[in-house]
Amino acid sequence: MNVYFDNAATTAIDPEVLKEMVNVLGSKFGNPSSIHSYGREAKALIEKARKTVATYLNASPSEIFFTGGGTEADNMAIRSTVDSYGIKHIISSPLEHHAVLHSIEELEKAGKVKVSIVKIKKDGHIDLQDLERLLKENPRSLVSLMHANNEIGNLLPIEEVGELCAKYDAIFHCDTVQSVCHYPLDLQKIKVHFIAGAAHKFHGPKGVGFIYINGSLNIHPLIYGGAQERNMRGGTENVAGIVALSKAMEMAHKDMKEHATHIQGIKDYMIKKLESSIPGIEFNGDTKGRSLYTVLNVMFPPTEDAEMLLMKLDINGIACSAGSACTSGSMKGSHVIEALGKDVSSRPVIRFSFSKYNTKEEVDFCVDKLVAFFKQPVSA
């Protein structure tokens, strides 16, 4: 059996999405910037996709811009805001994706901003009191906090953070790459200035995403070139990818509740199986509380073979991700797990992440292999 439990990294493209994408690649090949009929056809497809995305987010089509993915969208929100508004202070957390952390680190190194890192509670949630303290001390900051953590799954109370940012005149950027198309997001009700999305996180293709930019803002582009995306993102548009993104979003919203129930069931089933099968299991983050239903981060019992677990799972046809990476023979914890204060020197940490395609039979198979691993003699 082959089991794919790495959906937080990327999801399999849905067959209907692939069909739509291939059709556009084969028959709608015009450059959207061309004025002839081929170009106009391609341009019309992009604008239709823009309206689709805007509809599901309850935003205006003029607030949606297509990008090369979530990383570009995050960079655009952060770097362009600092350059356009002269922002001198950024508030973020130690749990953010590197698309955010590395961007703000580079801005700080360049002397453009001062960065404050909000405190994290033991369960991995943002300390909102500390966030308000930082906002009081530094009004008109850029706040960059993710909606759903890609490693431990914790969910940010996005509405509450939005209200705090509005109270202190802060600009709020929320990396929603892991939550778009898994939760309904009503951007008329959430006080957020930027969100980011990537198609490959909801059964679309890689290399295409979007950024929502609230209509109240007027920022400079990150990528200069042509007048594409209403002068906000130079470069010929990925027409087939954009159409596929909108199709994937449409399908995700159509069956969102059904898929959420199914995937949450898979996650809950795996939690119970692991707890009853392997003594000493711990879960990182607020696993049974305010947590993304697609992600389960597990800390296994101490073992001298910790660095071998991920490899053994792969050999047995199980794809997942390590919460810590093996570098030069020594365990180096992920920045997220490290921020939680966990010692992973001898404890393997694995992130299992699920999709609509996963089954309980796959969970059984995976847990059986894990049980066998922890029963085996330690390698010489």
Greatest C-alpha distance within the chain: 70
Three-point CA angle 355, 361, 362, nearest 5°: 50
- Which of the residues are catalytic? 326
CB 243 within 8 A of CB 221: no
